[in-house]
């Protein structure tokens, strides 16, 4: 497919090392996809689902010990350890390559090695980055065909250069003790072994589009962020685009596919999805910030997705979708998961492949789930009923607002606006989320997750904060920066704000702030809405409740300031002075709460 010697040398090197029986180049054609699906079905790697009810859909199980990203086995192998920073695992690159080569040597004997040329971003767009993934997994090939743009045109674009990310994956034996997801940012290389789970092996996603891309973005003057992108069309026909970063389990996919409340729909508001997980941001021609979603599909969590929480996501999964580790309905070859608003199947196999019935409990009386809590759907983005028509625009969409958020029971108000870009970088850097009762361990433990990038930043996070500050100097028409919290609880631990589609009421305020058509009030943390400026029309929610959601509590925030200072201490000299200054100012303002009447 190519004469590029860098590409051919790369393929040959790993062909010699892994010793597959065959090498197959993936061309993105329907015919090849069909043949691979048939082959995967014949070997049992995948199961074809009911073609009438779920046309083109397939089912796959990963190994029982291989169902999630493995952060403790994920490494950033920069030449100098300090360049990976205190929040990443590090290994010396040459030592790491040797270790991986030794583990994976000969691992593809008797197998086929697939070569996948893929693009993150529209092929030919100024945002696009090209990669070539080598893998021994048909499941990986079929996922990459959905999540990325796979085409021989990628090879044309690479031309005779070495400007592509080398992505190496081998399942080896799926041995947990020898599972490694390693990134070599200075070599533009990713090397993943002993896993078959999406986040560890679909190397275009977290590995390339976040870890490697964040590193490239810093070198080249752009940003790779863990953000959804959505467009809000107002009744006057104007569409405003927002990027939002939330840690895992805070409802990014739900917000990206939000359905406006009835009162908004009646007025003509519409919400369009551009992306649900990753945004690449660049300065546009006129000094605005533009964003693209570099992906071509959704790799979403299935449990909890239903016709109320996210009807658009559900509709997206009705054809040409791969379901991984969900419950298999044996009676009609369809799928089910906890939280789906359809009765659980009575003749089923759980995600481990064992016979399963609703109501089954383990030896300790704990319910046995049919679907793994991290079970996934891989669905083509084009299936999404609310996909933005600008999704494929090679220039991206202009961003009016950047929104950060987390799951906080008390500290953060429903919404606040940063004073300016620098303060906004501070607001992003102090992002945190509290663990929920659903996860093992203590409830309410605060995990700091700056810009939701803690597991995804491919270099020192202190330098990453500086890059954000530097970008602010370059962008003339800076988006405004906000923080939201849908998760404040009352004295009984119940969520106060209804969330889901109603979150549009908060986004509406954000947009009006961007347009300069609504006021705000000063507070120690940033600008707050006047309670009467959040539109509660058609919602059973009182202005008093809203006031509670906007309260800034002195003691809680003094604790917060302490927590931030401890977190910042990790970064040492590489923490930008600007952020230390911002923290000092926050502390001063929080201390003054109750002493000055204007600080409400
Ligand atoms: C994801 C994640 O899978 O953030 O998107 O873990
Ligand atoms: Mn994510």
CATH code, 569: 3.90.228.20
For the CA of 70, the nearest ligand: 1
CB 169 within 8 A of CB 192: yes
Residue at a domain's end among 383, 399, 433: 383
Q: Is residue 447 part of a domain?
A: yes
CA of 276 to the centre of ligand 2 (A): 8
**Distance of alpha carbon 514 from the chain centroid:** 25
Kindly state whether residues 469 and 553 are assigned to the same domain: yes
Chain position carrying tokens 């298999």: 328
Q: How far apart are CA 457 and CA 137, in angstroms?
A: 27
Mutate to test the pocket of ligand 1, among 199, 201, 211, 447 (most ligand atoms within 8 A of CB): 199
Kindly state whether residues 338 and 444 are assigned to the same domain: no
Can you give the pLDDT at residue 441? 55
- Kindly report the CA angle at 584 between 582 and 588, in degrees rounded to 5? 115
Mutate to test the pocket of ligand 1, among 248, 276, 305 (most ligand atoms within 8 A of CB): 248
CB 77 within 8 A of CB 95: no
Q: Which residues pair with 189 in a beta bridge?
A: 166, 184
Can you give the pLDDT at residue 24? 98
**Strand pairing class (165-170; 289-292):** unpaired
> Nearest 5°: phi and psi at 22?
-145, 150
Closest atom, ligand 1, to C-alpha of 199 = 3
Kindly state whether residues 281 and 325 are assigned to the same domain: no
19 lines ligand 1 (CB under 6 A): no
HSE-CB at 91 with a 13 A cutoff on CA atoms is 18
Q: Atom 4 in ligand 1: which residue has the minimum CA distance?
A: 248
294 lines ligand 1 (CB under 6 A): no
277 lines ligand 1 (CB under 6 A): yes
Kindly state whether residues 136 and 282 are assigned to the same domain: no
CA of 378 to the centre of ligand 2 (A): 13
295 lines ligand 1 (CB under 6 A): no
Mutate to test the pocket of ligand 1, among 204, 277, 293 (most ligand atoms within 8 A of CB): 277
Q: Is residue 62 part of a domain?
A: no
- Max Cα distance, the chain (Å): 76
CB 184 within 8 A of CB 74: no
List the chain pLDDT tens, one digit each, 600 residues.
Answer: 899 999 999 999 999 999 999 999 999 999 999 999 999 999 999 999 999 999 999 999 999 999 999 999 999 999 999 999 999 999 999 999 999 999 999 999 999 999 999 999 999 999 999 999 999 999 999 999 999 999 999 999 999 999 999 999 999 999 999 999 999 999 999 999 999 999 999 999 999 999 999 999 999 999 999 999 999 999 999 999 999 999 987 889 999 999 999 999 999 999 999 999 999 999 998 899 999 999 999 999 999 999 999 999 999 999 999 999 999 999 999 999 999 999 999 999 999 999 999 999 999 999 999 999 999 999 999 999 999 999 999 999 999 999 999 999 899 999 999 999 999 999 999 999 987 655 455 667 899 999 999 999 999 999 999 999 999 999 999 999 999 999 999 989 899 999 999 999 999 999 999 999 999 999 999 999 999 999 999 999 999 999 999 999 999 999 999 999 999 999 999 999 999 999 999 999 999 998 865 544
Kindly state whether residues 261 and 129 are assigned to the same domain: no
Mutate to test the pocket of ligand 1, among 181, 206, 433, 453 (most ligand atoms within 8 A of CB): 206
CA of 570 to the centre of ligand 2 (A): 24
Kindly state whether residues 195 and 281 are assigned to the same domain: no
Kindly state whether residues 159 and 208 are assigned to the same domain: yes
CATH of the domain at 369: 2.170.8.10
Residue at a domain's end among 202, 220, 238: 220
Q: Is residue 56 part of a domain?
A: no
Q: Is residue 424 part of a domain?
A: yes
Domain count, the chain: 3
Question: Would you name the residues annotated as active-site residues?
Answer: 250
Distances in Å between the alpha carbon of 289 and those of 128, 293, 471, 496?
16, 14, 10, 34
* HEC sequence for 547-591: HHHCCCCHHHHHHHHHHHHHHHHCCHHHCCHHHHHHHHHHHHHHH
CA of 67 to the centre of ligand 1 (A): 12
248 lines ligand 1 (CB under 6 A): yes
Kindly state whether residues 41 and 173 are assigned to the same domain: yes
CA of 571 to the centre of ligand 2 (A): 24
Q: Is 135 left (phi over 0), alpha (psi -120 to 50) or beta?
A: beta
Q: Is residue 331 part of a domain?
A: yes
CATH of the domain at 174: 3.40.449.10
Q: Atom 6 in ligand 1: which residue has the minimum CA distance?
A: 248
Kindly state whether residues 452 and 498 are assigned to the same domain: yes
Kindly state whether residues 303 and 289 are assigned to the same domain: no
Kindly state whether residues 186 and 278 are assigned to the same domain: no
Q: Is residue 61 part of a domain?
A: no
Can you give the pLDDT at residue 442? 64
Q: Is residue 164 part of a domain?
A: yes
Can you give the pLDDT at residue 600? 43
Neighbours of ion ligand 2 (CB under 5 A): 277
Note down the domain range covering 167: 5-45+73-220
199 lines ligand 1 (CB under 6 A): yes
32 lines ligand 1 (CB under 6 A): no
455 lines ligand 1 (CB under 6 A): no
Kindly state whether residues 168 and 216 are assigned to the same domain: yes
Q: Is residue 577 part of a domain?
A: yes
CB 481 within 8 A of CB 421: yes
Listed residue (292, 287, 290) closest to 474, CA to CA: 287
Residue at a domain's end among 383, 402, 418: 383
Q: Which residues pair with 100 in a beta bridge?
A: none
DSSP annotation string for 147-172: HSEE-THHHHHHTTS--SEEEEEE-T
């Amino acid at each position: 497919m190519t004469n590029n010697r860098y590409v051919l040398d790369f393929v040959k090197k790993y062909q010699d090392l892994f010793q597959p029986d065959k090498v197959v180049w993936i061309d993105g054609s329907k015919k090849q996809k069909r043949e691979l699906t048939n082959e995967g079905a014949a070997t049992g790697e995948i199961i074809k689902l009911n073609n009438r009810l779920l046309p083109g859909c397939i089912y796959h199980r990963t190994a029982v010990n291989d169902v999630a990203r493995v952060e403790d086995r994920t490494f950033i192998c920069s030449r100098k350890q300090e360049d990976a920073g205190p929040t990443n695992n590090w290994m010396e690159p040459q030592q790491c390559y040797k270790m991986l080569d030794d583990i994976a040597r000969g691992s593809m004997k008797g197998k086929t090695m697939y070569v996948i040329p893929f693009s993150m971003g529209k092929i030919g767009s100024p945002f696009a980055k090209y990669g070539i993934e080598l893998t021994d997994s048909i499941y990986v090939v079929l996922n990459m065909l959905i999540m990325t743009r796979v085409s021989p045109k990628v090879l044309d674009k690479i031309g005779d250069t070495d400007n592509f990310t080398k992505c190496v994956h081998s399942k080896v034996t799926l041995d947990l003790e020898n599972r490694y997801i390693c990134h070599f940012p200075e070599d533009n290389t990713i090397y993943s072994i002993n896993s078959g789970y999406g986040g560890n092996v679909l190397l275009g996603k977290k590995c390339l589009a976040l870890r490697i891309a964040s590193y490239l973005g810093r070198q080249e003057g752009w940003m790779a962020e863990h953000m959804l992108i959505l467009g809000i069309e107002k009744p006057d026909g104007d569409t405003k685009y927002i990027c939002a970063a939330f840690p895992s389990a805070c409802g990014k996919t739900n917000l990206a596919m939000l359905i406006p409340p009835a009162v908004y729909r009646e007025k003509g508001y519409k919400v369009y999805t551009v992306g649900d997980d990753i945004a690449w941001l660049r300065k546009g021609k006129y000094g605005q910030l533009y964003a693209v979603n570099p992906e071509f599909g959704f790799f979403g969590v299935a449990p909890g997705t239903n016709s109320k929480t996210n009807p658009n996501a559900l509709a997206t999964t009705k054809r040409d979708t791969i379901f991984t580790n969900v419950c298999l309905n044996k009676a009609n070859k369809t799928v089910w998961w906890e939280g789906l608003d359809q009765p659980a199947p009575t003749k089923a196999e759980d995600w481990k492949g064992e016979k399963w019935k609703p109501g089954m409990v383990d030896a300790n009386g704990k319910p046995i789930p049919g679907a793994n809590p991290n079970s996934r759907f891989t669905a083509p983005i084009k299936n999404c009923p609310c996909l933005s028509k600008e999704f494929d625009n090679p220039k991206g969409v202009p961003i009016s607002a950047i929104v950060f958020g987390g799951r906080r029971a008390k500290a953060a108000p429903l919404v606040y606006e940063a004073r300016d870009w620098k303060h906004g970088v501070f607001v992003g850097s102090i992002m945190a989320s509290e663990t929920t009762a659903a996860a093992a361990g203590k409830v309410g433990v605060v995990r700091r997750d700056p810009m939701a990038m803690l597991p995804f930043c491919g270099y020192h996070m202190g330098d990453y904060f500086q890059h954000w500050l530097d970008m602010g100097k370059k962008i003339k028409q800076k988006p405004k920066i906000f923080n939201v919290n849908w998760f404040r609880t009352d004295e009984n631990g119940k969520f106060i704000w209804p969330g889901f589609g109603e979150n549009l009421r908060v986004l509406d305020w954000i947009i009006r702030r961007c347009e300069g058509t609504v006021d705000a009030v000063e507070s120690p943390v940033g600008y707050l809405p006047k309670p009467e400026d959040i539109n509660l029309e058609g919602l059973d929610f009182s202005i008093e409740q809203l006031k509670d959601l906007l309260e800034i509590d002195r003691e809680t925030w003094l604790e917060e300031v302490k927590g931030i200072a401890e977190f910042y201490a990790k970064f040492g000299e590489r923490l930008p002075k600007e952020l230390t200054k911002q923290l000092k100012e926050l502390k001063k303002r929080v201390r003054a709460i109750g002493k000055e009447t204007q600080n409400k």
